């Protein structure tokens, strides 16, 4: 309990890391539910990786152009904004290209996503191997070490995720309608391409911010596992969305507490904790279904 008091104290040294982790934990599942409903789980794997490649490319640019390094982390806002621009640009390009190919209905979607994932991973490693800036924090980012988050990073994350939350909440009806039944939505005059694009932009922005703040590993974990867990019990969309978001937020806090107490890396601790919760809930769900079946007999 002493550790918990320490983490909750306003002057806690890593408070920005706690806040960012919890913000990402609450926000990622909100777009994650649509990745699950649209059966785009593999996109949730590939996009954070593409996003981190975008960060690597953006931060390599000054080095390539002989303008000096723009390291990630505490060394200023320019580097962070550059990384955000690279991350967002790469994520949006990837998501829009994948969605376009999906609409054309040609080829194998899983094959495309797998290729994007593996090429993005390889490209990130290549960029890291050739850039001394990697030592200044990229590897920590890729491993999910959330320890050096500045006030500026935190504000940027909070503003971007608040924007995602507002747009998703405001236009939830339209996004759900075109996801569930495109044809009916189109016959009733809804602009299905526009709402699809809006959803993809929100997913892209969330992934970019999450990757930049906490790394691809945690971003992927929080995009999908809370949504998959909440789906086991949800009977309505409201339960699904709120349940996934609460689960993500609470798990991220518990994960941070656990990691801090046991001196473990935060990202992997969060994701393993999410996996454990999913497993326990899955077993509990099976038991409940079995119990209901027995009661009916």
Does 100 contact another protein by CB under 8 A?
no
Sequence-separated (6 or more) residues with CB below 8 Å from residue 173: none
Helices 216-231/192-214 angle, 10° precision:
120
Closer to another protein by Cβ: residue 6 or 174: 174
> Measuring CA to CA, which residue among 120, 64, 58 is closest to residue 88?
58
Binding segment toward another protein, per CB under 8 A, in 173-181, 213-221, 273-281, 289-297: 173-181
Residue among 186, 279, 283, 289 that touches another protein (CB under 8 A): 186
| Minimum gap (Å) between residue 271 Cβ and another protein | 23
DSSP 8-state secondary structure symbol assigned to residue 132: G
Do residues 62 and 69 make contact, with C-beta atoms less than 8 angstroms apart?
yes
- SS3 assignment, position 66: coil
Q: How far apart are CA 179 and CA 196, in angstroms?
A: 8
Q: Of the listed pieces 35-43, 48-56, 70-78, 264-272, which binds another protein according to CB under 8 A?
A: 35-43
> Of 2, 5, 236, 292, which one interacts with another protein (CB under 8 A)?
236
Alpha-carbon distance of 62 to 3, in angstroms, equals: 41
Judged by beta carbon, residue 81 or residue 242, the one nearer another protein is 242
Smallest gap, in angstroms, from Cβ of residue 170 to another protein? 5
**Residue pair 228/274 in contact by the 8 Å Cβ criterion:** no
34 binds another protein (CB under 8 A): no
d(CA 258, CA 262): 6
Which residue, 143 or 172, has its beta carbon nearer to another protein? 172
Which of residues 101, 139, 162, 184 is near another protein by CB under 8 A?
184
Count Cα atoms within 13 angstroms, Cβ side, for 208: 28
Should residue 180 be labelled a site residue for another protein when binding is judged by CB under 8 A?
yes
The pair of three-digit structure tokens given for residue 239, joined into one six-digit string: 């339960």
> Are 152 and 226 within 8 A, CB to CB?
no
In angstroms, what is the minimal distance from the CB of 32 to another protein?
A: 13
Residue 188 makes contact with another protein by CB under 8 A: yes
Among positions 18, 30, 36, 59, the unique one binding another protein when judged by CB under 8 A: 36
| Minimum distance of another protein from residue 39's CB (angstroms) | 7
Considering only the stretches 21-29, 53-61, 152-160, 169-177, report the one whose residues sit in contact with another protein under the rule CB under 8 A. Answer: 169-177
137: left (phi over 0), alpha (psi -120 to 50) or beta: left
Sites of contact with another protein (CB under 8 A): 36-37, 39, 170-171, 173-174, 177, 179-181, 183-190, 231, 234-237, 239-240
């Amino acid at each position: 309990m002493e550790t918990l008091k320490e983490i909750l104290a306003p002057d806690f040294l890593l408070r920005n890391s706690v806040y960012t982790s919890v913000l990402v934990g609450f926000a990622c599942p909100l777009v994650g539910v649509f990745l699950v409903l649209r059966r785009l789980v593999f996109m949730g794997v590939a996009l954070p990786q593409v996003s981190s490649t975008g960060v690597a490319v953006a931060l390599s640019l000054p080095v390539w152009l002989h303008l000096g390094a723009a390291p990630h982390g505490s060394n200023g806002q320019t580097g962070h904004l550059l990384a955000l621009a690279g991350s967002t640009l790469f994520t949006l390009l990837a998501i829009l290209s994948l969605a376009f190919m999906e609409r054309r209905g040609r080829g194998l979607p899983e094959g495309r996503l797998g290729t994007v994932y593996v090429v993005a991973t390889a490209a990130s490693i290549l960029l890291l191997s050739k850039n001394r800036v990697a030592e200044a924090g990229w590897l920590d980012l890729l491993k999910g070490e959330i320890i050096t988050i500045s006030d500026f990073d935190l504000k940027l994350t909070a503003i971007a995720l608040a924007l995602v939350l507002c747009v998703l909440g405001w236009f939830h009806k339209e996004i759900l309608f075109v996801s569930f039944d495109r044809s009916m939505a189109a016959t009733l005059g809804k602009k299905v391409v526009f709402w699809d694009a809006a959803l993809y932009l929100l997913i892209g922005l969330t992934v970019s911010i999450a990757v930049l703040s906490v790394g691809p590993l945690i971003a992927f974990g929080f995009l999908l596992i809370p949504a998959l867990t909440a789906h086991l019990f949800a009977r309505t969309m409201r339960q699904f969305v709120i349940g996934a978001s609460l689960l993500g937020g609470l798990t991220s806090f518990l994960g941070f507490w656990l990691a801090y107490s046991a001196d473990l890396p935060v990202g992997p601790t969060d994701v393993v904790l999410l996996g454990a919760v999913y497993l326990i809930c899955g077993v509990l769900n099976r038991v409940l279904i079995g119990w209901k079946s027995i009661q009916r007999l």
